[in-house]
Amino acid sequence: MYQVKLINKIAPCGLDKLDRTKYVCAEEVEHPDALLVRSTSLHEIEFDSSLLAIARAGIGVNNIPLERCSEAGIAVFNTPGANANAVKELALCALFLASRKISDGIVWAKSLAGQAEVEKLVEKGKGQFVGPEIAGKKLGVIGLGAIGVMVCNTAHHLDMEVLGYDPYISVDSAWKLSRFVDKAADLNTIFTECDYISIHVPLTKETRGMLDREAFAKMKKNVRIINLARGELVNNADLAEALESGEVACYVTDFPSEEVLGMKNVVAIPHLGASTPESEDNCAVFAARELREYLENGNIVNSVNLPNLEVPRSAHTRICIINRNIPNMLQSITAAVAGVNLNIENLYNKSRGDYAYTIVEIDGPVADSVVKAIGDVDGVIRVRVL
């Protein structure tokens, strides 16, 4: 039986993809083959030597120690695009929240409960919550992946002028982007020209603190910023100054922190970007399928730390090897197999950065001694026979 440890609440329809005659899925699992996780940080967690794979039901993998996983031969997966529509819808909501002082207005309206002549008080006091329309304004979108592209395309239909920035845009995203979205040559163009800025990039060394004092200083006065991507993309101390001085009129974030909650003109949402039944189901189903493919067939689909390699399963026995991407690996692996006179039916190999993945198909059983011989090859990190 495969043991899958559930780190967060995972939608049941995803778990249903894992046949209960082959899988145990539970929060308490002592020696897991796999982890299913959402946003909980795994950085401080020690992994059992049994662990083969981690599937992130979501896209951001900044909560997973990727380098440590690669070194331990643990494949890490995410679910690209599976929650993008949910975040796009919240981003649209955030555009309006950033403009119309809706959340302050709602709090104020509720505070009138129990007072006499509420209707009159509403009409008298509503002037403090006036905010601009988004039509005709310029929106800058940083990061044109699954979410960014959808935000751009929909904002165009809401009569906004849209500028997009992504130096690494994928061919797929470029195909999906509306021709009405203008390409910003650099971040400065987004900063200097836009009335609204929405950020949709992963948290990496490059993007951490991307919106800082220098960036705020270039922005138009009264710019409104939407961050549903990750809190750490923004330098909080610099943001506090920009909000205080009025340079930034409103900051809508899906990542409240003690610091951010203390700032003025902040609309804080409790990380609800992917919290729709549709998105939770999608992510769970994607993640479960990825785990099943890897655990049962050795196929790697949507990995973030290993090369993707998916080959239809034949009747042959598979030896799946995670190895370093260094010279002579294939030669040493095939020599270990040939050493016991086994014939290789098929061999597939793909590399990604410092790591590679090799599938060797053999007609017939593979003795433990062969697994040991491959495992002893310098540069081999993990061997599994399926």
Ligand X SMILES: NC(=O)c1ccc[n+]([C@@H]2O[C@H](COP(=O)([O-])OP(=O)(O)OC[C@H]3O[C@@H](n4cnc5c(N)ncnc54)[C@H](O)[C@@H]3O)[C@@H](O)[C@H]2O)c1
Ligand Y SMILES: O=C(O)CC[C@@H](O)C(=O)O
Q: Which of 117, 214, 244, 259 is catalytic?
A: 259
Q: Of ligand X, ligand Y, none, which one does residue 282 interact with (CB within 5 to 8 Å by kind)?
A: none
299 binds ligand X (CB under 6 A): no
Q: Of ligand X, ligand Y, none, which one does residue 7 interact with (CB within 5 to 8 Å by kind)?
A: none
169 binds ligand X (CB under 6 A): yes
Which ranges in the chain belong to alpha helices (H)? 12-15, 66-71, 84-100, 102-111, 118-125, 146-157, 171-176, 187-193, 213-218, 236-245, 258-261, 277-292, 329-338, 368-375
Q: State the Cα angle at 279 between 277 and 280, rounded to 5°.
A: 65
- In angstroms, the CA 319 to CA 337 distance is 10
From 34, 35, 97, 201, residue interacting with ligand X (rule: CB under 6 A): 201
Q: At closest approach, how far in Å is the CB of 121 from ligand X?
A: 36
Q: At closest approach, how far in Å is the CB of 82 from ligand X?
A: 8
Site string for ligand Y, 268-307 (x = CB under 6 A): -----xxx--------------------------------
38 binds ligand Y (CB under 6 A): yes
Q: At closest approach, how far in Å is the CB of 229 from ligand X?
A: 4
Report which DSSP code applies to 12: H
- In angstroms, the CA 36 to CA 12 distance is 12
Q: At closest approach, how far in Å is the CB of 151 from ligand X?
A: 9
Nearer to ligand X, 2 or 165 (CB): 165
Cβ–Cβ under 8 Å, residues 299 and 293: yes
Site string for ligand Y, 43-72 (x = CB under 6 A): ---------------xxx------------
Nearer to ligand X, 60 or 125 (CB): 60
From 54, 142, 359, 373, residue interacting with ligand X (rule: CB under 6 A): 142
Count of chain residues binding ligand X (CB under 6 A)? 34
Site string for ligand X, 319-348 (x = CB under 6 A): ------------------------------
Cβ–Cβ under 8 Å, residues 197 and 140: yes
Q: Of ligand Y, ligand X, none, which one does residue 38 interact with (CB within 5 to 8 Å by kind)?
A: ligand Y
Tokens for 107?
A: 């709090």
Cβ–Cβ under 8 Å, residues 292 and 329: no
Distances from the Cα of 67 to the Cαs of 48, 72, 76, 353, in angstroms? 16, 9, 10, 12
Is 230 in the active site? yes
The closest of 326, 327, 330 to 344, measured between CA atoms, is: 330
- In angstroms, the CA 306 to CA 290 distance is 13
Cβ–Cβ under 8 Å, residues 190 and 165: yes
Q: At closest approach, how far in Å is the CB of 106 from ligand X?
A: 21
- Burial 286-311, CB ≥16 within 10 A → b, else e: bbbbbbbbbbebbbbebbbbbbebbe
Q: Which of 38, 56, 224, 230 is catalytic?
A: 230
Is 271 in the active site? yes
Is 247 in the active site? no
Question: Taking the CA of residue 72 as centre, how many other CA atoms within 13 Å lie in the half-sphere pointing to its CB?
Answer: 17
Q: What is the distance of C-alpha 113 from the center of its chain?
A: 41
39 binds ligand Y (CB under 6 A): yes
Residues that bind ligand Y (CB under 6 A): 38-39, 58-60, 83, 273-275
Residues that bind ligand X (CB under 6 A): 58-60, 80, 83-84, 87, 142-148, 165-170, 173, 200-203, 206-207, 228-230, 254, 271, 273-274
The residues assigned a catalytic role are 230, 259, 271
